[in-house]
Amino acid sequence: MMGNEEPGDYKNAKRLLVLVNRFEEMIANGNKYYFDTEELEEIIDYYFDKNNSKYAILSIDFAIEQYPFNTVFHLRKAQALAATNQSQKALEILSYVESIEPNNPELFMTKGGIYSQMGLTDQAIENYKKAAERSESIDEIYMAMAFEFQSAGKIDDAIYYIQKVLELNPDSEMAIYELAFCYEANGQNEEAIKYYTEFLEKHPYAPTAWFNLGVAYARLLLWEKAIDAYDYAIAIDEDFSSAYFNKANSMVALNKLDEAIEVYKETLQHEEPDPVTYYYIGECYEKKEDLDKALTYYHKALSLNPEMGEALLGIAICLDAKERKTEALHYVKRAVDVDKENSDYWYICGEIQQDLKFYEEAEISFKKVIELDPGNSEIWLDYANLLFEQENKNGSLEILAEGIKHHPQCAELHYRISACLMSIGQKEEALSFLQSALKLNYEKHEELFDYIPTLRDNTSIIDLIEAYKK
């Protein structure tokens, strides 16, 4: 900056504040000052930007009083009323504007927005189309139409208009991302790949298009192609942090953990430190069984977000693997406190409590898992095992029987209840469940002996297993 010159934006901001202060002084004093139409438009827009509905209305009413035939101010009044859910009053004003200026595209855009707010999709679209017939900025109107169709669940129509936006304005990143969202909502990953590939042939330097092409490939588990697309995005925009992050995710899917860690770390060079990125690095180290480094990065994630349940759980799992179970229990309980509706947190909490022989607490945790996720067949087995360990065989049987009601095709539950019944001498019922288990999945019969090894000496069981041998 040279001499006393000021940047244009700063000068304009100062000038606008002078105008606003002068307007508010006028209101406070009950006087009438002169403002031209452009100044009043700036003042009104200032209050809209600040979401100050009281002063927005005051400034609009003053503007209409001074310039009653200026339709801009009537449009602003309609918009202000719509923003405060006074839709009918807003539409009445717009009818007046239409009688004066029937070819004003902003009139129909405003009407379209109000009808959209009222949930009247057909009327909204009709008015947006009228706006498009009268406007030069058609891409913005098509985008509004696309959003309206999206809200109405008409995704194919939304895709059509977003593609029209990109024909008019291929640099619209919003349109590129919204198109990706629509393709995902429709489950049209192949169509997304086809569109973005063709788009990139005409516009090869569009990093967001390369990025979304990568996302579409990733959804189809085409990880190598996804990585190539992310690399193009990065080559065009070396600060594209999301492309680095997604590239690292794809590398994890290919089990290229060392490379993934390096790319995650590179992500952090192009954005503010992010707890999710630190968490993913920790997860990579955990998969590599480098528990100390995993703990380091999980703690980094927690330092940025102390309420990050996934990081708390990651720490608990690593500490548990290092046989530091009391510390592990502390962290998994913190995870549960963060999200009491997460069945995975309760499950791991119960397992650690069981290992520590805190049986009553483990039972509470397992009951909570069943309450939250009865569709998880493993919890019925583990809860039954917890009771069996405490010689509560009847309780174990009850849990297994309940589990079978939820999962009648789960062979493991049938094998387990068979073993449990044999252990209390209910031989016939045990053999009946064993028969069901063998029919469901013969290959898993070894689980019977894993649970109670002495059953290998039981001739009735061995004979029945042999009868089902193929």
Domain boundaries, given as residue ranges, for the chain: 409-470
Give me the pLDDT at residue 65, please. Answer: 86
Give me the pLDDT at residue 94, please. Answer: 87
Three-state secondary structure readout of the chain: CCCCCCCHHHHHHHHHHHHHHHHHHHHHHCCCCCCCHHHHHHHHHHHHHCCCHHHHHHHHHHHHHHCCCCHHHHHHHHHHHHHCCCHHHHHHHHHHHHHHCCCCHHHHHHHHHHHHHCCCHHHHHHHHHHHHHHCCCHHHHHHHHHHHHHHCCCHHHHHHHHHHHHHHCCCCHHHHHHHHHHHHHHCCHHHHHHHHHHHHHHCCCCHHHHHHHHHHHHHCCCHHHHHHHHHHHHHHCCCCHHHHHHHHHHHHHCCCHHHHHHHHHHHCCCCCCCHHHHHHHHHHHHHCCCHHHHHHHHHHHHHHCCCCHHHHHHHHHHHHHCCCHHHHHHHHHHHHHHCCCCHHHHHHHHHHHHHCCCHHHHHHHHHHHHHHCCCCHHHHHHHHHHHHHCCCHHHHHHHHHHHHHHCCCCHHHHHHHHHHHHHCCCHHHHHHHHHHHHHHCHHHHHHHHHHCHHHHHCHHHHHHHHHCCC
Give me the pLDDT at residue 8, please. Answer: 58
Give me the pLDDT at residue 451, please. Answer: 84
Encode pLDDT of 50-89 as tens digits. 888 888 888 888 988 889 888 888 888 888 888 888 888 8
Give me the pLDDT at residue 470, please. Answer: 66
Mean pLDDT, consecutive 10-residue segments, the chain of 470 residues? 50 85 89 88 89 87 88 87 84 85 88 89 92 89 94 94 95 95 95 97 96 97 98 96 97 97 95 95 97 97 96 97 96 96 97 95 96 93 92 92 92 90 88 88 86 86 83
